[in-house]
Structure 1
Amino acid sequence: MTIFGLEENAVRTAVAAVRTGDTGAAAEAEPGEVFARAAWTSIAEPGDGVAGTVVGILGAAGALRAVVEAWPADRFSRSLAAGVDENGAGDAAGLRPELEQALARWRPRLSSAEVMRSLQQAQRTGTALLLPGDPLWPEGVEDLGRHAPLALWWRGRSGAVDALRHSIALVGARAATGYGEHVAMEAAAGLVDRGLAIVSGAAYGIDGMAHRSTLASNGTTVAFLAGGVDRFYPSGHDALLTRIVEAGAVMSELPCGAAPTKWRFLQRNRLIAAASQATVVLEAGWRSGSLNTAGHAAALGRPLGAVPGPVTSPTSAGCHRLLRDYDAICVTTAAEMAELIGVGVDLELDLTGTDGATPRERTSEQVRVFDALSVRAPRVPAEIARRSGLSTAAVLGALGTLDLEGSARERATGWVRVT
């Protein structure tokens, strides 16, 4: 038996290596479908809407078989129309003119041996393949419609991929200033304290600082790359990306061995915007690539924030452009960034008892103590006092009230915030 001209046992072995263990894979995926999804990440460029439509209607294996067997565009179109009539997936209308051009793009890339090499390289580097429908599949990317990724390659911790459900993207200029890097450092640390994961693109400047600050705060960070996850880019961030793999996750829709290109960077940006719940641009020039990410976030209806900078700074001109022309929300602190997705908005005590009494507002001391707590890292009263600027006695009193309302809990090593 063969699968796409390859020995079935060889395909099953290669597929199993990227779909077993702590990979978040759904057990019911057929080897042929998994292999076809892997193949499509090599055949089609990221964001190829024709490929997305074809795979959505015929399935990855069916669409790949049609390309391998060199179906004429007319036969392909008829099959797509029949698929739409049968299962209602996708829309074949108007696809015929695009189909011939797409087939001309795809056919030169057909290589079963190349797909096997990428699967074997994935096995060597501990890379897993994530498919739509898997428990860890980031649901937000489905909002991209026909331009959604056909599969995602990733390395790292499964918990980090799952954390994308509660994440904010921090992006900005590569040529960042000290001001921008300071804002990125404070923002990432503050968002981690609020239990949020940080998403970015691992570039120099703002991206790199957001990742480093998250790791230093023992938080979770996910980096989306424009090439294969086995070849870290930029090379100057090799050590940083290695740390992200150990503590977070690195993801790409391109197979192992794929090189980053300008087009792939632009397409990568749509994943950053779609996978996270909100996007914040911390510092950006007038033509910064970060504005591309912001544009994707706005198009997807995701909350978009921008940090203002000095009006004389060219590296903040892009942020001011977003605030003026794109209805971005002005954010200056981690608390304001978290509010983009509704985290930390309600600062009222929930002390309504069975008598239906109206909830009381927190005192200023209780607010300061609550802000000084972390969701992840337990803190002792002395540390909370230092962060809040209160006495230890005042902190203990406020903690007691927060404990009663269920907003804080004492653990063996200290107090944590409950969201």
Structure 2
Amino acid sequence: MEGPPGPEERWARTWLTRVLEPGDETGGRWVREMGPVGVVRRLRDPDRPLPGAGARRWAGLCARAAAADPARDLAAAADAGARFVVPGDAEWPTQLDDLGDARPLGLWIRGRPGLRMWALRSVAVVGARACTEYGAHVSAALSAELAERGWVVVSGGAYGIDGAAHRGALGAGGATVAVLACGVDRPYPRGHARLIGRIAEQGLVVGELPPGDHPTPSRFVLRNRVIAALTRGTVVVEAARRSGSLATARAARRLGRFVMGVPGPVTSGLSTGVHQLLREEAVLVTDAAEIVELVGAMGELKEVPQGPLLPRDLLGPGARRVLDALPARGVVHVAEIAREAATTQDDAVARLYELRSLGHVERHGDGWQLTRHAVISARAGAGPP
């Protein structure tokens, strides 16, 4: 376990967020082997390229290094109400260490709660941007139910499933985290500026990139590994075969997290990616209780759905076998009842009188018949007698 970072290391990590791209495993290896301060020193000496950096890449890194200004970034973060958390801090979520050399250098965070504690009981809900009405409804409902059960909903702040997930959690008065592919002071997409503002007030807005930095297609994909690592499991609500949310699910699987999928119409192209996940290793889920049963603590099991308790449900096995031996219509003799119930005639007679006292059967001469009440009870849920 890493000790608390000193001021020089924190400064170096702040500086490096301007130089290295998120998920850069070569850069992560440099940081692991030399320490962030050592990497900064080498980047300030253009004549000493770091191992594995080609001439073109080294020139690009040095150009970025020359423009980096940690003091400016920390001041911009403070103006936006954000803080910079690094490995070794009390707030650092140690499950991010599972990413190895692709671990973030640090995280810029807006919001009052502590990320480490929130991440311990969190679930990612992700999916298509251009989702259907069904997908948006399911995403919001699942997230609201998770929030009501005390779980933190994590998503990417995007249009579609992500936005519905955040709104569902917020609407339930619950906790949600938006992991952005840009600076936390620059809400993206712009149409979600108000939503991301609400998340920062009620929850947390998190990102690897320094203030003011913009998103790119590759940064969206790399952001997904943080969502996967941060949470106990990932639920994909809707996704086409090439959806970026599938990258989150695959990252979760590589990290040993739970991967879940919500089925959709087989005629919908936006369900094909989810259905492919379900054909592989994902677990099918349809409500929050099923999600919590997977990711929660031992004993957080979903109750098995049951119908209403019927009078015949209270019968012992012997009496129920005799009751089941009577047809829905008509009178039948004891010998036939005993044969169908695989018992003796004496036992059948004793059971029949017990059943009569409970209102299940009535006697007609030498035969027996189900009462109208017993027939209705059987149709209501016990199956045909």
Which category of TM-score, normalised to the shorter sequence, fits these structures?
0.7 to 0.9
1:160 to partner: Cα distance: 5.0
1:140 corresponds to:
95
Question: What TM-score, normalized by structure 1, do the two folds share?
Answer: 0.69
1:38 aligns with 2:14: yes
What is the alpha-carbon distance in structure 2 between the residues aligned to residue 186 and residue 298 of structure 1? 24
Counterpart CA distance in 2 for 1:347 and 1:315 is: 30
Spell out the pairing of 1:347-386 with structure 2 (5 A cutoff). Answer: none
Are residues 264 and 143 of structure 1, via their aligned partners in 2, closer, same or farther at CA, if it must alter by over 3 Å? same
Is the counterpart of residue 334 in structure 1 residue 294 in structure 2?
no
Equivalent residue in structure 2 for 1:297, among 242, 252, 260: 252
Per the alignment, residue 138 of structure 2 pairs with 183
Query: In the alignment, is the contact (CA less than 8 A) between 1:338 and 1:344 conserved in 2?
Result: no
CA deviation after TM superposition for structure 1 residue 245, in Å = 0.4
SS in 2 for 1:283: coil
Q: Distance in 1 between matches of 2:42 and 2:97?
A: 25
Q: 1:71 to 1:178 in 2, by over 3 A?
A: same
CA distance 1:343–1:190, change in 2 (3 Å):
farther
In 2 relative to 1, CA 362–189 (structure 1 residues): closer, same or farther, beyond 3 Å? closer
Alignment of 1:8-23 (within 5 A): none
Q: Percent identity?
A: 46
* Counterparts of 1:102 and 1:142, CA distance in 2: 26
For the structure 1 residues 362 and 202, does the alpha-carbon distance in structure 2 shift closer, same or farther, using more than 3 Å as the test?
closer
1:309-328 alignment runs, 5 A limit: 309-324=264-279, 326-328=280-282
Q: Which residue of 2 aligns with 1:237?
A: 192
**Contact 1:335–1:344, Cα closer than 8 Å, also in 2:** no
Are the equivalent residues in 2 in contact too, given 1:131–1:137 (CA < 8 A)?
Answer: yes
**Counterpart position of 1:118:** 73
Instruction: Report Cα offsets for 1:366-394 as digits up to 9, x if no partner.
Output: xxxxxxxxxxxxxxxxxxxxxxxxxxxxx
In the TM superposition, what whole-angstrom CA distance separates every residue of 1:293-332 from its partner, at most 9, and x where no partner exists? 11111111111000110100111111001111x3111111
Q: Which residue of 2 is the match for residue 62 of structure 1?
A: 38
The size of the alignment, in residue pairs, is 306
1:198 maps to which of 132, 141, 153: 153
Structure 1 residue 237: Cα displacement: 0.5
Per-residue CA shift, 1:215-243, capped at 9, x if unaligned? 11111111000000010000000010001
Residue aligning to 1:385: none
Structure index of larger Rg = 2
Partner of 1:156: 111
In the alignment, the residues of structure 2 paired with residue 196 and residue 188 of structure 1 have an alpha-carbon distance, to the nearest angstrom, of 9
- Residue-by-residue CA offset, 1:116-137 (whole Å, 9 max, x unaligned): 3222211211110000011111
Contact 1:160 1:248 in 2 (8 A): no
Partner of 2:360: none
Distance 1:362 1:148, change over 3 A: closer
> Partners in 2 of 1:362 and 1:294 — Cα distance?
27
User: Which 5+ residue runs of structure 1 have no aligned equivalent?
Assistant: 1-25, 77-95, 349-360, 366-419
Cα distance between partner residues in 2 of 1:189 and 1:230:
26
Structure 1 residues 364 and 236 mapped into 2: Cα distance closer, same or farther (>3 Å)? same
Shift of 1:344: 7.2
TM-score, normalised with respect to structure 2 = 0.75
Aligned amino acid, residue 73 of structure 2: S
Contact 2:91/2:115 (<8 A) preserved: no
What SS does the aligned partner of 2:257 have?
coil
**How far is 1:33 from its partner?**
1.4
Counterpart code for 2:37: A
2:357 is matched with which residue? none
Q: 1:27 to 1:304 in 2, by over 3 A?
A: closer
Judge conservation of contact 2:125–2:235 (CA < 8 Å) in 1. Answer: yes
Distance in 2 of aligned mates of 1:281 and 1:245: 24
**1:221 alignment partner in structure 2:** 176
1:208 partnered with 2:163: yes
Q: CA contact under 8 A between 1:155 and 1:245: conserved in structure 2?
A: yes
CA contact (8 A) 2:293 2:301 kept: no
- For 2:63, the equivalent position in structure 1 comes to 108
